[in-house]
Structure 1
Amino acid sequence: MASDLEHERHRRPDEITLPTLNETTRLRLGRQLQALYEPVIDEPLDPRLAELMLQLDADRGAAIGPARSA
């Protein structure tokens, strides 16, 4: 194991690989995050925030211009 660590230390930057999660870990993490945030998602949105978001969407639409029919 020490030789693996030594090899990692002397790798070139372009040889370094990013850590990955296997499917089981991704699924478990997804379920845990969903359980954590589900109560927040179910909460009603503050009316002022909803109004600001609608205004932002309208402003973005105006900046892009009218949609063209295909």
Structure 2
Amino acid sequence: ALERSLADTPFLVGDRLTIADIAVYAYSHRAEDCGFELADYPAISAWVERVGEAIGPGYPVYPYSIDPHSGG
């Protein structure tokens, strides 16, 4: 569904980055950690790149196997 939606628009809700993009990006950009090949989804891959560029570098990204906030 995400691939189909992003085939016609650069962001989830039209032509501009919104909180919807940031919320979905949080998990989607780590999809390969869970065995999903983003290369199989060109619209999602392009969107991940666009959102990542808009957010910019410097924020921490943790692999799914590590949850620094779990207290464990």
Q: TM-score, normalised by structure 2?
A: 0.26
Q: Which has the larger radius of gyration?
A: 1
Q: Which has the higher relative contact order, 1 or 2, with Cα contacts under 8 A spaced 6 or more apart?
A: 2
* Larger helix percent: 1
Q: TM-score, normalised by structure 1?
A: 0.27
